[in-house]
Amino acid sequence: MKYLSIAICSLAFAVHCGAAEKPNILFIAVDDLRPELGCYGSPIAVSPNFDALAKEGLLFNRAYCQQAICRPSRASLMTGARPETTGLFHNYVSLRELQPNIVTLPQQLIAHGYDAAYCGKIFHLGDNDEGVSWNRESVKWLQGIKKPKSGFALPENQKIQTEDRTEMIAKYGDAAKRGLASGPAYESADVPDHAYVDGYETLRAIETMKQMVKEGDKPFFMALGFKKPHLNWVAPKKYWDMYDRDKIPMASETEAPLNGAAMGLHASFELRTRSGIPKTGDLDPELARTLKHAYLACVSYVDAQFGKMVAALEEAGVRDNTIIVVWGDHGWHLGDMGVWGKATNYEIATRVPMMIWSPTMKSHGAKTDALVELVDIYPTLCELAGVPIPDHVEGHSFVPLMDDPDQPWKKAAFSQYPNPALREWAANPLSPAMRETWFGPLIQEVETRIQQQQGDRWDRELFEQHLMGYTMRTDRYRLVLWRDHREPNVDPVFVELFDHQTDPLETKNVAGDFPDLVESLSQQLNLGWEAAL
């Protein structure tokens, strides 16, 4: 019995040590962040903490989301399944409504010995998956610090937002509740970081992480999701002050692609819902400059919060055994191609920042041009954590790139987006009420352009309800096939091809000049992601 007791104790110790030796994971999500960081070559962005991680870890120059809108992108990443599998193509349907049994990344980690908690925005709002993807609650209260009650810190902006909502709901009813009245697009207030939600959520995440470290019986998966630089662009004044307004470079290409798809771009719907933004026409150059300044201030604000989180890991003594992964859910047009917002199939909306550090990686401070996708994060973290990768996962672990960033890799990355020109800004189909709002003239304008381009192929039901743009990014090209989602084998109604060797800003659709190349690339796209491995 004595030896049996010793054996049991030894086994228990071994199991405990095994758990302790598993790496922790700090999982950082950033909303609407395009690769506008110093480490990505931005000439203006002040992002020292993200840049520091890039110098220690691996930065992905060519990482792509699966759909350039919040809910589908995050659902795809968190489940390891692509939009065609999840069935989630817009923001107004929940993940569990469509996929009640799919195993998410934190779910899988929990099943294999992890504690998982989150603060901020990880899944899209409404998809938090409480009690399933998370097995412990985050710290609810911070002593001496009040939770922000409004997106704005300044009373005058809070008043504008309230008045806008009252007016819009009185005028348009339920349609206004989906974001028609959001207050001003930006704010600069001389307030502490925690006066806005990202600063507050960072403090919560730090306290939650400290609790998990103190308990020490399990490795942790700590997810922290920043809402900025999503609209509204609110940040403490000190981050605005980091920039010389007159030196901020503006978009160099502000026209739609020559010969491009008329349905490829939207009318900046999301931005135009904000107070003080013109409902039609181009933005005044001074306003455009202010908006980009606001976006950059939010980038620096988020960078500072990330720095606080990493410093807390170091203070807790767990930095050396904590994988850190940073990702943005999609890109963002800042006047590029003449639009403001995400929600397109082009490079500026589908390309995202992504970087990783792990205790076991061999390559440090490197950059890779390998084509990778957000859906690849799930299997990568499973492999690094020694956790089985579920059969449903449609991504490909990029762990080998962390040792050899220059090795041959995927042949292509895949994204998709339903007709952005005739969808609401959350990618859902146009509601009848939207045509009755001040969006009506904008919708009519883009609809007319599509009708003129498509001629006899115009069909309202197809273009509003069923048209999907499928895009594939190879080493050199971006192909976009606009086709009926119900009949994927039918010829596309329009094709776009961009040559990144000669036209990295995608200013000209050259599909008509290279029919054989279009045919070859179309066949490759039709074979799908598995054939690209």
Q: Which stretches in the chain have pLDDT values below 50?
A: 1-20
Looking at residue 512, its pLDDT comes to 98
Q: Which of 390, 330, 253, 338 is nearest to 72 (CA)?
A: 330
Residues 6+ apart with CB under 8 A from 224: 26, 27, 28, 29, 118, 119, 120, 201, 202, 205, 309
Residue 36 CA to residue 177 CA, distance in Å, equals 31
What are the residue ranges of helices labelled H in 351-424? Answer: 377-385
Q: DSSP string covering 6-73, please?
A: HHHHHHHHHHHHHHHHSPEEEEEEETT--S-SGGGT-SS---HHHHHHHHHSEEEEEEE-SSSSHHHH
Please state the pTM of the whole predicted model: 0.95
Looking at residue 179, its pLDDT comes to 73
Catalytic residue among 39, 65, 119, 124: 124
Residue 236 CA to residue 148 CA, distance in Å, equals 13
Looking at residue 261, its pLDDT comes to 98
500 carries an active-site annotation? no
φ, ψ at 289 (rounded to 5°): -65, -40
124 carries an active-site annotation? yes
Question: How many C-beta atoms surround the C-beta of residue 420 within 10 A?
Answer: 29
Question: What burial class does residue 512 get, using C-beta atoms within 10 Å of its C-beta: 0-12 exposed, 13-18 middle, 19+ buried?
Answer: exposed
Catalytic residue among 70, 119, 298, 382: 70
Looking at residue 461, its pLDDT comes to 95
